[in-house]
Amino acid sequence: MTGAEGVGQHSVRMQRVEHGWDVYIMDPEGDVVSTRACGSETEARTFVSTVRQHLYWLSPEKFREYYRIDDPALASGGPD
């Protein structure tokens, strides 16, 4: 995989696959929470750059909302 860690709770990576490139958004534990297929390395790098900017600019809540990532607190039943 290539790419860089994101700022904040999530990170973003890209990987060459059989028919192009995949971009992965990962949660703090390193689990993939979103995948986007890209047809070229340029497209993948552009999307990675956009995600990095959003990681920096957006609050964690807005980032999850924008990329339609489930809130881990809600998935686990909420705070105790």
Structure tokens at 71: 């809130």
Q: Is residue 74 part of a domain?
A: no
**Interval 25-59: pLDDT, tens:** 999 889 999 999 999 999 999 999 999 999 999 99
Q: Is residue 80 part of a domain?
A: no
- Mean pLDDT over each residue of the chain, to the nearest integer: 86
pLDDT for 67 equals 95
Q: Is residue 78 part of a domain?
A: no
Work out how many domains the chain is built from and give that number: 1
**pLDDT grade for 4, boundaries at 50, 70 and 90:** very low
Q: Is residue 52 part of a domain?
A: yes
* Secondary structure of 12-78 in HEC code, one letter for each residue: EEEEEECCEEEEEEECCCCCEEEEEEECCHHHHHHHHHHHHHHHHHCCHHHHHHHCCCCCHHHHCCC
Write down the pTM of the prediction.
0.78
Query: Which value, in Å, is the radius of gyration of the alpha carbons in the chain?
Result: 13
